[in-house]
Structure 1
């Protein structure tokens, strides 16, 4: 789900970062054991003092403590779940959040930092030329997401995809076999609101609701796949497992600001929100929240 951060349409230059707080989740998938030492090394280059909060199992409390320090920015180093927690806890009225990739998929850091994976390099670029991005969010049943939501049986591919990213082929095969991701048992009916560029209803076997990357058109990009048979669904699913399922054949794209989804033969909707699995009610309404959070990124030349 990589892309550019243009869905964070409003950019405000920041002259200099004078002090930061840092929230580190040592339990996240790819946060190194020496994360604190690495941050110290980079921040000392710019003479920026830092106060640390090391997460245990209470992300909200760690973020609240970081906010209380009164810093110019809050570095959050963790996975997608940690970053979503920080954005939801701190909100747009707190110091901007500088996300560093520390998980498996790292969707938000890839968007904010233009897919860069080197955490120290990202931090140096931001410290040299910081800018604040205003980020929109999607909301459903009290849950917020900042990159995208996937709905339907293909969301079961999350576990084997994570195993593949960790190069655990045996586990990936086992997870894939158990997932039943290609079962034709999750049809959905979705409705696009009349304020979007498209208006109407349709059915889909897999549905993606992503924050738009067009600053002139804030809203959702809705991608729907309605394969006619198991082979078509398997092709779409394997594309999602190995690459980005939005590139698969048979996926249609429309725009909206509100999307209502009904599971036609289920007690609930299987979904992942920014990579985190959740079960939603059989009828779910996705709404756009503008100005939901502020992020810190490097100013472009």
Structure 2
């Protein structure tokens, strides 16, 4: 059992899976395990500052109750030498917490981590200097994310504006990419998935799953969307997948990228790579 004394908690009450009673519940769970926790529940615009302050406090454990994007930011701030990280399911997708704690509630996941947890390295991808722990989407499809978020927060006109922009950029800025030093190829977008969330790779595979989307128009996009609803989208003829440890992606101008659900703007040339130790997590022992 990993020894824990100082604990910082960041709870995003606006993340979609956290209610207003969560801070009190968290304090009680830690008290039941003989620990005190400093809990921060910031406004959305102050979330990153709260995460930085929590890491700067040099705790033994940083608990994040939020979505995958906030967990990604926390992992970037902690790094492989910083505090242990416990990313609890507090968002809408919760892909990362499910790979660590299963389909448990955040309360059960936290109790399990405190009772049986051990320190473990968490691998992931790097896009330039930025890590991702679930998936990175490079290319124009990433521009649909702001429209989705605006709709989620009840801002239909802003959602429409972002959707219009994304549609205008669709099929207008194809990427060039090379996987593991291979030939340059073209695609509308390239998706890189970490092995612990990939259906095609074993959890322990030391590589990313790269999926190139070679779409040539709305017909291809519609077919891909339909295939995503009825079967694995990787089976679509416009998708080519293969494992890779390092990739280079080029475009004629800046590349929009979605890292674990958060939009980033990259330069016109960027490198993607697999890292075996993006951060350290507090996780239950692996089953034999």
Q: TM class by shorter-chain length?
A: 0.7 to 0.9
Provide closer, same or farther for how the CA distance between residues 160 and 68 of structure 1 changes in structure 2, counting only shifts above 3 A.
Answer: closer
Q: Which residue of 2 aligns with 1:285?
A: 271
C-alpha spacing 1:105/1:225, structure 2 compared with 1 (3 Å): same
Please, which moves more after superposition, 278-287 or 40-49?
A: 40-49
Equivalent positions of 1:105-144 (< 5 A) are 105-114=93-102, 116=103, 118-144=105-131
Contact 2:254 2:268 in 1 (8 A): yes
1:206 aligns with 2:200: no
Q: Which segment drifts farther, 26-35 or 65-74? A: 65-74
Q: Is the 8 A contact 2:149 2:159 kept in 1?
A: no
Aligned in 2, Cα 1:229/1:25: closer, same or farther, shift over 3 Å? closer
Equivalent residue for 1:218? 206
Is the Cα–Cα contact under 8 Å of residues 23 and 41 in structure 2 kept in the other structure?
Answer: no
Cα deviation for residue 19 of structure 1 reads 5.0
Answering whether residue 255 of structure 2 is matched by residue 269 of structure 1, we say yes
Q: How many angstroms apart in 2 are the aligned matches of 1:253 and 1:66?
A: 39
Superposed, 1:48-67 pairs within 5 Å as 48-56=35-43, 57-59=45-47, 61-67=49-55
Contact 2:141 2:189 (8 Å CA) reproduced = yes
Q: TM-score, normalised by structure 1?
A: 0.78
Unaligned runs of 5+ in 2: 197-201
Deviations 1:242-276 (A, max 9, x none): 9975464532211212111122xx42212111111
8 Å contact kept, 1:153–1:181? no
Gaps of 5+ in 1: 1-13
Q: Is the 8 A contact 1:113 1:298 kept in 2?
A: yes
SS at match of 1:200: coil
Instruction: Check whether the contact 1:154–1:181 (CA below 8 A) recurs between aligned residues.
Output: no
Residue 285 (structure 2) aligns with = 299
**Number of residue pairs aligned between Structure 1 and Structure 2:** 280
What is the CA RMSD across the aligned residues, in angstroms? 3.4
Runs of 4+ in 1 over 6 A off after TM superposition: 170-173, 241-244
Partner of 2:199: none
1:234/1:155 Cα in 2 relative to 1: closer, same or farther (>3 Å)?
farther
> Judging changes above 3 Å, is the alpha-carbon distance between structure 1 residues 55 and 291 closer, same or farther for their aligned structure 2 residues?
same
Corresponding position: 1:98 with 2:98:
no
Matched, 1:236 2:227: no
Normalising by structure 2, what TM-score?
Answer: 0.81
Q: Is 2:168 the partner of 1:185?
A: no
Q: 1:33 to 1:245 in 2, by over 3 A?
A: farther
